[in-house]
C-alpha cells in the first residue's frame, strides 16, 4: 500500500487530504444531523401538548432551553401568535431558511471534494503521461523499466482519485437526502402548530 502511494507521485498527497476532509465532514454531519439534535422527540411531545392547551408562554420558555433548530422555529411561532397564519408562516420561513443553511453546512463541501479528487487523479494521470512521452521523445530505444514511473503515476493517481471521489459522492447524496427529510418534517410540524394556535384545533 505504501509503495502504491509513493509510486503515485506528488498528487497522491492532496488526494489523501481530500479523503481525510471528506470522511471528517461526513462523520461531523452524521453527528449534527441526528434527529434528536434537530427535532428532539421530547420537545415535540411537550410543545404539541402545550399548544393544544394554549400555554404559549411555557412553549417559549421550553424552547429557549433547547438549542435545536425546531426550538428556534417554535419561538418564532409563539412570538407571532395572533398576527394571522400568513404572517406567522412568513416569519417561520425566514428563520427556517437560516436553519436550513446551517443544516446544509459542510454537506456541499463533500460534493466539492468528490470533484476535486477526481480532477487531481486526472491531473496525476496527465503528469504521468507527460513523463512517459518525455522519455520516449528523448530515447529512440526505450527501456520499459524507465517508463514504469510514469505509468505508475498515471494509473495510481487515477485509481486513488476515484477511490476517494466515489464514497464522497455517496456521502454527499446521503446527507443531502437526510437534510431534506428533516426540513420537510420541521415544515410539517410548524404548519400543524400554527393551525392549532390560530384556529384552536384540538387534534394533530
Q: Could you tell me the residue ranges of all domains in the chain?
A: 2-197
**Residue pLDDT, tens place only, 17-26:** 999 999 999 9
pLDDT of residue 152: 74
pLDDT band for position 82 (50/70/90)? confident
**Residue pLDDT, tens place only, 142-201:** 666 666 666 777 788 999 999 999 999 999 999 999 999 999 999 999 998 988 887 654
pLDDT of residue 198: 76
Q: With residue 159 as reference, give the H or E element that holds it.
A: helix 144-199
In total, the chain counts a number of residues equal to 204
Q: Identify which of 7, 179, 195, 11 has the alpha carbon closest to the alpha carbon of residue 96.
A: 179
Distance (Å, rounded) from C-alpha 157 to C-alpha 10? Answer: 9
Distance (Å, rounded) from C-alpha 127 to C-alpha 153? Answer: 7
Which residue is associated with the grid cell 417559549?
A: 60
Q: Taking the complete model, does pTM exceed 0.85, yes or no?
A: no
Distance (Å, rounded) from C-alpha 52 to C-alpha 200? Answer: 7
pLDDT band for position 203 (50/70/90)? very low
Taking a C-beta distance cutoff of 8 angstroms, is the pair 124, 156 a contact? yes
Taking a C-beta distance cutoff of 8 angstroms, is the pair 38, 69 a contact? yes
Beta-carbon contacts of residue 32 (< 8 Å; ≥ 6 apart): 103
pLDDT of residue 140 exceeding 50, the answer is yes
Amino acid at each position: 500500500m505504501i509503495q502504491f502511494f509513493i509510486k503515485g507521485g506528488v498528487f497522491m498527497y492532496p488526494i489523501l487530504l481530500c479523503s481525510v476532509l471528506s470522511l471528517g465532514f461526513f462523520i461531523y454531519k452524521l453527528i449534527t444531523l441526528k434527529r434528536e439534535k434537530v427535532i428532539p422527540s421530547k420537545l415535540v411531545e411537550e410543545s404539541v401538548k402545550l399548544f393544544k392547551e394554549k400555554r404559549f408562554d411555557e412553549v417559549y420558555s421550553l424552547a429557549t432551553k433547547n438549542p435545536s433548530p425546531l426550538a428556534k422555529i417554535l419561538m418564532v411561532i409563539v412570538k407571532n401568535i395572533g398576527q394571522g397564519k400568513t404572517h406567522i408562516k412568513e416569519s417561520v420561513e425566514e428563520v427556517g431558511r437560516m436553519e436550513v443553511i446551517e443544516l446544509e453546512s459542510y454537506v456541499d463541501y463533500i460534493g466539492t471534494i468528490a470533484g476535486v479528487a477526481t480532477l487531481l487523479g486526472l491531473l496525476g494521470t496527465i503528469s504521468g503521461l507527460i513523463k512517459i512521452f518525455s522519455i520516449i521523445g528523448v530515447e529512440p530505444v526505450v527501456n520499459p523499466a524507465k517508463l514504469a514511473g510514469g505509468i505508475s503515476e498515471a494509473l495510481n493517481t487515477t485509481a486513488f482519485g476515484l477511490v476517494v471521489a466515489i464514497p464522497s459522492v455517496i456521502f454527499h447524496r446521503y446527507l443531502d437526502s437526510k437534510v431534506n427529510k428533516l426540513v420537510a418534517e420541521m415544515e410539517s410540524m410548524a404548519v400543524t402548530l400554527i393551525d392549532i394556535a390560530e384556529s384552536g384545533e384540538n387534534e394533530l
